[in-house]
A and B are shown apart, each in its own frame.
Chain A
Amino acid sequence: MAVLAETQNTSLKGKSMRKFKILLAGTVAALAMSGAAHAQRGTDGDLKILFWQAVSTLNPYLSGGTKEVYSSSMVIEPLARYDETGALVPWLVTEIPTVDNGGVAKDMKSITWKLKPGVKWSDGSDFTAEDVVFTWQYCTAPDGGCAQKAQFEGITNVEAVDKQTVKVTFSEPKYYPYGAFVGAQQPIIQKAQFKDCVGAKAPGCTSANFGPIGTGPFVVKEFKPNDVITFTANPNFRDATKPAFASVTLKGGGDAASAARAVLETGEYDYGWNMQVEPEVLATMLKAGKGVLVNSFGTQVERINVNWTNPDPKLGDKRSTVEGGKHPALSDPAVRKALSMAIDRDIINEAGYGEAGKPTCNIVPAPDAYISTTNDWCLKQDIEGANKLLDEAGWKKGSDGIRAKDGVKLSFLYQTSTNSVRQGTQALVKDWWQQIGVASELRNVSASVFFGGDPASPDTFQKFYADLEMYTNNFDGTDPEKYLAEWLCDKIPSPANGWQGQNIPRYCNPDYDKIVAELSKTADLKKRAELAIKANDMLTAEGAHIPLIHRGQISSHSATLVGVKMNAWDSELWNVADWSRKK
């Protein structure tokens, strides 16, 4: 592994060293004050968290929804997770395995995790390698419908070498081996509790799914599905001084605006998740001075996908497929570029996102090592330039002010999901496109239909029966390999694969496929970043999509709550053990 990996590794070592020293100091102090440290756990009373989408289950393997992943992260934990900067942190293990420390095999076909000694489940039993092995068996069992199964792709075996060592073997060299058991999506569950719940039996184990036993700072006391969860501090938590709160109440339901009010205005709650509220509404609420907003930028990008195939209804079954032929107007690169140039991303951000967004021209917007500036021309609106580009390409304005060439008019159907911010963006974009002689018809589809993926519905984003469509997508963790593979030629949705591909724009470029193939064979992190940037630049430059806004996660917390480190790479509640009440 090259420079970047090493620096990351040494910084990790440095960090854990520092942590260790602090811990040591803490223990000494605790010994000196004889038990004073013990009094610290549970001294700060009840922590009240509000999720405006209620939590349905505490088993993230059976749901996959963000709200379930976040809420369960207070109880069950992964081997390693991402901190607020996106760096890997050893969580239930002693260190992050690398080639240098011998944790990752030289041929990249296996990774060995060393578990932290002395970690206990909340019921007092030992946390062992068997539990990690079981978690893999649980999620990959047939008929289980495990939502995180993709994270275990390419793993042939997970074995317990001894009580404290887990070896994960891959079928092929895995150049980014930190997929399985890393991040809030794949926490370790207890074998003793779930051993009779494998495969088709998984949904039937209601009491286990509603109250998983974990290694985390809190224990589930009562779970009322889609309503409220009560947690108490875990008496067997590995750090005897944490958590500071004795209990947590996580209430669900309602809407984002009233959740913001409960934290920022009335102060009834300490933490409110996902404040998707118009910036000016939040600004008035903040004036009450009871709470603050926190944000963090992960990998979410709001984009307009460009349909490279022809969505003409006359084509029948061949509509929006490669067989149906190229799009009559959008196959012209000048048109795709002009559409992007005409947009003022700053205004979209100001109107709909505020602190929760920033304009972007990238499809891979983070982490820092992967950010490209090649296409930053798009950050500045250029109506004049767009008009000129279209003139040069031979698209002439007609009497109705709409450009046309060879009988093809620049008139597009622009669809998205129903959501007030998205409809606001649509209206703004329509106006700018009007100024370059492009007409657009706006359409919005209910989110549960649009993202539902029902092959029988004509309104899903996969079918793309429109010229342009807008939504947000992202990737888990910090490595974009899987995400960039979505634009491969063989991932194009079609009736043959039940519209299941992820290459929504139907973009196909053999050169692009080559870059992604190379990426999957590169171990060196610096080289990986270079390749990812190359792929990212290609997608934007060729106009597979029009990136708009790099979306952050925005939450709010009470002014009396300290220790919150907003994290878009992992669960927002990842460091809940460190939260405390301001004295």
Chain B
Amino acid sequence: MFTYTIRRLMFAVPTLLVISFVIFALLDLAPNDPLGDLPLTIPPEVREQIRASMGLDQPFLIRYLLWLKQFFVNEPLNIIEQLFGITIGDGERMRVLSWATRSPVVDLIVQRLPQTLWVVGMAYVFGILIAIPVGVISAYRQYSIFDQIGTFVTMVGYSVPTFFTGVVLIVIFSSYLQWFPSIYDTNLVVNDWSSFVAQVKQMILPVTVLALYNASQIARFVRASMLDNLSQDYVRTARAKGVKEKVVLLVHVLRNSLIPVVTVIALGVPTIFSGAIITEQIFRVNGLGQLLITAVQGADIPLVQTLTFIFAVLIVLFNLIADVLYGILDPRIRYD
């Protein structure tokens, strides 16, 4: 298993390099322009100078190599310096700078991460907590009223887009009932009971929207996997031996059914980091998803490039984790 993991990690390096090149090339070919949002009163000569100050006057390959150096050498060195409080070399090195804010991209990402992890991560956890019992009961009582309702709700939750559910919830709970705020306050510091209540209040709507979506997806997997296992021979044997129904269901069937579900959940983790772009935009959570979408709209290429590349790393990494977990959970699978 260990050699397998090492081998996979080695393979990941060229894969990621190719991915970074493809992203860079795609962004470069896209007709977006970082100056597109500027007022037309800024004359063309000045625009040309602004472009040059962003390094856009350099050829494509030079810009790519520069980004590689900034991302793989300068940024890690900078992190090491900050962690240990030391200075390597003269400490003056070019970091990956966003074109819109003119500040280091990594700092922006670090600033946005907590919101995304709290809101989108919490929604993922809630989604799983709801999905597993719903999936189990639906499968165990297949075609019962609970199953029918569960199937209906999960199908709706899965097919109705979040930009619709989000706005509906705002209109009902913010505009009409005025229970929850429609705008997320990223400055809120939780240090006492009332600020904690405020934090919970502002998280309820976005978390609900996302949890409904996540739960629907995972619940369908749990149900299908449970149904597969319920008709297996070992279930009949267990029942014939006189094992209690509760034990049959929760110990034998659920454990075996969770093997594919765990991999699905692991593969979904990178999407937490990429944030829920639309939901973050609607509730102004201003996490990584909102950062990515504003960067895309403003053609802030260094930021888009760095963010998408980090997502690519996470996807490759969690694919590996899912494979390894599969091997650990299912002793029949051996990679070596």
Contact = CB atoms under 8 A, between A and B. Distances in A.
Interface string B85-121: 0000000000001101111100110011000000000
Contacts of A498: 48
| Interface range on chain A (Cβ under 8 Å from partner) | 35 or more
Contacts of A146: 46, 49-50
Interface string B118-152: 00000000000000000000000000000000000
B252 interface: no
B231 interface: no
Interface stretch (A4-12, A21-29, A167-175, A247-255): A247-255
Nearest to A142: B49
A578 interface: no
A305 to B, nearest CB: 12
Contact of B290 (A253, A453, A456, A474): A253
Contact of A149 (B36, B38, B46, B187): B46
Interface in A263-296: 265-266, 268-269
Interface string B162-196: 00000100100011001001110111000000000
Interface in B31-60: 31-54
Interface stretch (B62-70, B233-241, B278-286, B318-326): B278-286
Contact of A200 (B34, B53, B101, B183): B53
Contact of B33 (A144, A203, A266, A453): A453
B260 interface: no
A71 to B, nearest CB: 13
Given A203-B97, A266-B175, A453 B102 contact: no
Contacts of B111: 224-225, 227
A266 B181 CA distance: 8
Interface string B282-317: 101010001100100111000000000000000000
Contacts of B35: 452-453
A261 B182 contact: yes
Contact of B103 (A65, A225, A451): A225
A406 B137 CA distance: 78
A56 interface: yes
B104 A451 contact: no
Given A54-B286, A225-B101, A254-B282, A501 B33 contact: no
Contact of A254 (B34, B40, B108, B284): B284
B299 to A, nearest CB: 6
B37 A448 contact: yes
A226 B100 contact: yes
Contact of A449 (B36, B45, B186): B36
Interface residues of B, number: 56
A502 interface: yes
A387 to B, nearest CB: 35
Contacts of B187: 222, 224, 228, 230, 249
Q: Give the most central of B51, B102, B174: most A CB within 10 Å.
A: B102
Given A268-B182, A452-B35, A62 B291 contact: no
A475 B41 contact: yes
Contact of B40 (A144, A148, A226, A451): A451
Interface string B251-275: 0000000000000000000000000
B286 A65 contact: no
A64 B38 contact: yes
B259 to A, nearest CB: 41
B43 A150 contact: yes
Nearest to A447: B36
B102 A57 contact: yes
Contact of B39 (A66, A149, A449): A66
Contacts of B47: 453
B38 A147 contact: yes
B117 to A, nearest CB: 16
A145 interface: yes
A65 B183 CA distance: 24
Interface in B180-229: 181-183, 185-187
B50 A266 contact: no
Contacts of B45: 150, 500
Given A225-B101, A261-B175, A459-B31, A143 B52 contact: yes
A454 B33 contact: yes
A157 interface: no
Q: Which 6 pairs between the two chains have the least Cβ-Cβ distance? A: A452-B33, A145-B53, A448-B36, A500-B44, A452-B36, A203-B102
Interface of B: 31-54, 97-98, 100-104, 107-108, 111-112, 167, 170, 174-175, 178, 181-183, 185-187, 281-282, 284, 286, 290-291, 294, 297-299
19 contacts: A56-B100, A57-B100, A63-B38, A143-B52, A203-B102, A209-B103, A227-B111, A261-B170, A266-B178, A268-B181, A446-B32, A448-B37, A448-B299, A449-B31, A453-B36, A457-B33, A474-B40, A474-B41, A502-B43
Given A448-B298, A454-B31, 17 more contacts: A65-B38, A143-B52, A144-B53, A147-B38, A147-B50, A203-B97, A203-B102, A225-B103, A226-B291, A227-B186, A251-B185, A268-B183, A451-B36, A453-B36, A453-B47, A457-B31, A500-B45
